[in-house]
Amino acid sequence: MNSEIKKLSIDADRLWSDLAAMAEIGPGVGSGNNRQSLTDADRDGRLLFQSWCEAANCSVSVDPMGNMFARRAGTDPDAMAVMVGSHLDTQPTGGRYDGVLGVLAGLEVVRTLNDLGIKTERPIEIVNWSNEEGARFAPPMLASGVFAGVYERDWAYARTDADGLRFGDELERIGFKGCERGDDIAPHAYLELHIEQGPILEDEGIDIGVVTHGQGLKWLRVTLTGREAHAGSTPMPRRANAGLGAARITELVEQIALEHAPHAVGTVGQVNVYPNSPNIVPGRVDLTIDFRHPQTDTLIDIETRFRAGVATMADEIGLGFTIEDVGGFDPVAFDAALLAQVRQASTALGLSHRDIVSGAGHDACWVNRIAPTAMIFCPCIDGLSHNENEAITREWAAAGADVLLHVALEAAGIAC
Ligand code: GLV
Ligand code: MN
Ligand code: MN
C-alpha cells in the first residue's frame, strides 16, 4: 500500500452532519429517536439514505425482507461484493448512533473513494438491515437472519407487532418489499462498525474495539394466567395473582443471572398486565425475558433453571403458565483474518485498540454464518445505549469510520 493510501481518512464533518440529519427523522421524546422498524419514520429514514446513496452514484436495490443494498461497482464484474453496514431502525426510546453509525460510515467510505477517484476490484455494498432491534417485531436481527438462512421468509413475514400487524404487510405498506437477489447472495466479506454500547473502551481510553466474539442470546415470552378478582373484597389467600407471579419472575431472572456472574445478564424488559386496572387483581401477565452469556452451555443451563423456577413459582401461587421460545442465537466468533486487518489498520492510523466481546446482538452475528465477518467498535459515553441520551464524539465516530475504510479497501482491493 503506498503512503497516500495509508493516510486516507473519511470526511469527519460530513459523517457527523449526516448523523445529525438522520436523527431529525423519527424524533424521540428526548434527544434520541423513535424510528422503529417499518413505521413511517423508518420509511422516511430509508428514503433519505437512498437519496444519499444515489447521489453517491450507487445503485440501490431492496430484497424481499426490505434489506437495502447500495452498490458501488468494482472493476471486476464477476467479483463478490464487500459489504459494509448495520441498521437504521431504533428502539422506541433509542439513541442516534446504535446501528446508524455503521450504515452512514459505510456511505462515508464510498463517498471518500468517489472523492479521491479510487476504484476497487470488488464492488462495495452499503447495507441497511431491516428490523435489527426486534422492539416492534421479535426476534431481533430478523431480516439479516433470513438473509443468512436462519429463518424462513414466510415465518418472518408472519411476525406481529403489539397491535397484531404483520411484518410482511407493514413492509409492503411502507413500499420496501423488494425482489430476490439471486442465488449467490453471500458477500466476499461483511464489516460492521458499531458503538460499543458498554463502558470498557471509554473507561480505558481506547479508540477502537476489535470485536472477537458476540455473546449468545435467548429470548423467552412467559404468559402467566391467574384469576381476575375484586381488589377490595377478595381475601389474600383466595387470589391467583398473575402480577405477583410477574414480580417473582423478575426476581428469578436477576437471581439466575447473578448466579452465573460475571458474564451472565438477564432482563425482564416488557410486562403487559391484564386488564391493567387499579382495583382488579391481575388475571394475566405477559412478560419478555432476555438472557445473554458468551458460552452456549451456560446459556442452556440458565434457561433450564429458569424454566424449572417458573414451574415451581406458578405451582406455589396457583397460576397457569406458558413459556414461548421467541428466538436467540449462539455465541459467535468473528473471522480471524479480518480481525487481524482491523488491528493492523488501527495501528497504522495511530489508534489504540483492544480485543472486546460484544454484549449486544448484531446483524454481523448472522452474516458471520455465510461470509467472513468482522465488527469494529468505537466508544460511547458512559456505555449508555438503548437510551435517548446515547452519545459519542465526532472523533470517535471518525476513527471508527477510518478503520472501516481501510479494512474495506484491503478486502475490496484497489484496482490499478
Ligand atoms: C440488539 O439491539 C440487542 O438487543 O442486542
Ligand atoms: Mn445496533
Ligand atoms: Mn440496538
**Is the beta carbon of 138 within 6 A of some atom in ligand 1?**
no
409: CA distance to ligand 3 center in Å?
27
Residue 150 has pLDDT above 60, yes or no: yes
Specify whether the CB–CB gap between 116 and 223 falls below 8 A. no
Q: Is the pLDDT of residue 140 over 80?
A: yes
Q: Is 213 helix (H, G, I), strand (E, B) or coil?
A: strand
pLDDT at 183: 67
- CB 222, CB 321: distance < 8 Å: yes
Which residue among 33, 37, 86, 133 is best mutated to probe the pocket of ligand 1, counting the most ligand atoms within 8 A of its Cβ?
133
pLDDT of residue 416: 79
Check: CB of residue 110 under 8 Å from CB of residue 69. no
pLDDT in tens, 255-305: 999 999 999 999 999 999 999 999 999 999 999 999 999 999 999 999 999
Cell 424521540 found at = 28
Confirm or reject: Cβ of 133 under 6 Å from ligand 1.
yes
Going 378 to 197 to 388 to 165, the CA torsion angle's sign is: positive
The predicted pLDDT at position 116 comes to: 96
360 lines ligand 1 (CB under 6 A): yes
Please give the mean pLDDT across all residues of the chain: 97
CA 135 to ligand 3 centroid distance, Å: 9
Distance, in Å, from the CA atom of 397 to the CA atom of 313, rounded to the nearest integer, reads 47
Ligand 3 centroid, distance to 191 Cα (angstroms):
17
Residues in the chain: 416
141 CA from centroid of ligand 2 (Å) = 9
Q: Of all atoms in ligand 1, which is nearest to the CA of residue 91? A: 2
pLDDT classification of 3: cutoffs 50, 70, 90: low
In tens, the pLDDT along 113-127 reads 999 999 999 999 999
Q: Over the stretch 346-405, which tens digit does the pLDDT of each residue have?
A: 999 999 999 999 999 999 999 999 999 999 999 999 999 999 999 999 999 999 999 999
The amino acid at 144: S
Tell me the best of 386, 387, 390 to mutate to test the pocket of ligand 1, counting ligand atoms within 8 Å of each CB and taking the most: 386
Q: What is the pLDDT of residues 23-80, one digit of tens each?
A: 999 999 999 999 999 999 999 999 999 999 999 999 999 999 999 999 999 999 899 9
Give the H or E element holding residue 126: strand 124-128
**Which ligand has its closest atom nearest to the C-alpha of 365?**
1
Classified as helix, coil or strand, 23 is: helix
Burial class (CB in 10 A: 0-12, 13-18, 19+), 14: middle
Q: Closest Cα to atom 1, ligand 1: which residue? A: 361
Segment 176-192, tens digit of pLDDT: 999 998 767 899 999 99
Whether 1 shows a pLDDT value over 60: the answer reads: no
Among 290, 362, 380, say which to mutate for ligand 1: greatest number of ligand atoms within 8 Å of CB. Answer: 362
Is any ligand 1 atom within 6 A of the Cβ of residue 140? yes
Distance 77 CA to ligand 3 centre (A): 35
Contacts 24+ apart (CB under 8 A), 297-306: 298/260, 298/263, 298/264, 299/216, 299/217, 299/218, 299/328, 299/330, 299/331, 301/260, 302/218, 302/256, 302/257, 302/260, 302/264, 302/266, 303/218, 303/220, 305/256, 305/259, 306/220, 306/252, 306/253, 306/256
**Ligand 1 pocket, 290 CB below 6 A?**
no
Q: Is 363 in the pocket of ligand 1 (CB under 6 A)?
A: no
